[in-house]
Structure 1
């Protein structure tokens, strides 16, 4: 039986789309649901275009999580993937999915993580700090931003002439290649 994945995203949804497309070809799992905390997030359009059910929940629903957990249960979700999701996941949902909820972060945690560190802010900070390498971190989600147990990290160089956009391009390539494969391995290890 195929495992059902929910993707939580706040922005344009390129990672969400990549994950949806990856699992379309797999018999082990599929993306069955996309949830967002932003009414105008382009991930909603991407999801509709790929015929994946998607829902927007306002900030008040993300504070206690009851309505969101209800939708996750209605769709029989087995595993939750954060892909550019910028809100804190309510404890109610975290506790309903222990070791079944992961996030991707565009730096080598614990460096350049935490509340407010996302997207270009991370790449700007990496370059400003003179780092020679950056990368991605895939980790379990817990009550604290970017502090869950690390599952894997993949590195890339930071070149002296890099702009935040240059580094972002390199990081996105790592995300698109790595994240779906890690999700698949985690689901396979669950049996």
Structure 2
């Protein structure tokens, strides 16, 4: 079994035989999405085929366009029903779904279509500072207000509840006494950029 796993990895890295299709869900600027797209442009393991957003003016659509990745906006009602999104995912043969700053709840029909094939990243060490409404600077402000000595990122599987899916990995960084939310955010972003694409790739190798 171990030998077969090594052979599968070799195939993925040499010739693209096992290349997988990724979709990214994002709601905002899209710096993480761009980082992931660029990472896999240099790899044979996978490729980002779609970027989907629930916000019409999300700058992630501009980033995707500049990187020649199709981007799609779906209004609130379509997200809540999920059928149109799921149809698009199937049309593009998406194997793996990545949430990167996506602020809406993923409908059950999409979750059930991608069991253990949909992950999220959160800018704190869950279960601390997670849940609905906890994102971006709100998280960093809460971490500093609570007097925490460390923070970090949590990469986890997505389920029916905000930030409650099984944890895949966590990476930590210090919270310094003089930190502002902006300064802490910069440290957190570096952890995200360095680790999220690598974790995605490791999970894809297991598909």
TM-score by length of 1: 0.99
Alpha-carbon displacement from aligned partner over 1:88-122 (angstroms, at most 9, x marks no partner):
00000000000000000000000000000000000
2:154 — aligned with what? 137
Tell me, in whole angstroms, the C-alpha distance in 1 between the residues paired with 2:42 and 2:160: 33
Deviation at 1:85, TM superposition (A): 0.1
* Counterpart-to-counterpart distance in 2, 1:113 and 1:187: 26
Q: Partner of 1:81 in structure 2?
A: 98
TM-superposed CA distance for 1:189, in Å, is 1.8
User: For the residues of structure 2 that align with 1:181 and 1:26, how far apart are their CA atoms?
Assistant: 11
Gap regions ≥5 residues in structure 1: none
Partner of 2:131: 114
Query: Are 1:42 and 2:59 counterparts?
Result: yes
Q: Once the two structures are superposed, what CA deviation does each residue of 1:34-58 show, in whole Å capped at 9, x if it has no partner?
A: 0000000000000000000110000
Deviations 1:100-157 (A, max 9, x none): 0000000000000000000000000000000000000000000000000000000000
Q: Paired residue for 2:112, among 81, 84, 95?
A: 95
Equivalent in the alignment of 2:199: 182
Give the Å deviation of 1:64: 1.1
2: distance between equivalents of 1:54 and 1:71?
11
What runs of 5+ residues in structure 2 fail to find an aligned partner?
A: 1-17
Cα deviation, 1:162-184, whole Å, max 9, x if unaligned, reads 00000000000000000000000
- Give the aligned partner of residue 39 of structure 2: 22
Q: RMSD of the alignment, in Å? A: 0.4
Alignment of 1:143-158 (within 5 A): 143-158=160-175
Larger Rg: 2
Secondary structure of the 1:44 match is helix
Paired residues, number: 190
Tell me which stretches of 4 or more aligned residues in structure 1 moved more than 2 Å. Answer: none
| Rounded Cα–Cα distance in structure 2 between residues aligned with 1:117 and 1:151 | 20
The normalised TM-score by structure 2 is: 0.91
Q: Distance in 2 between matches of 1:124 and 1:135?
A: 13
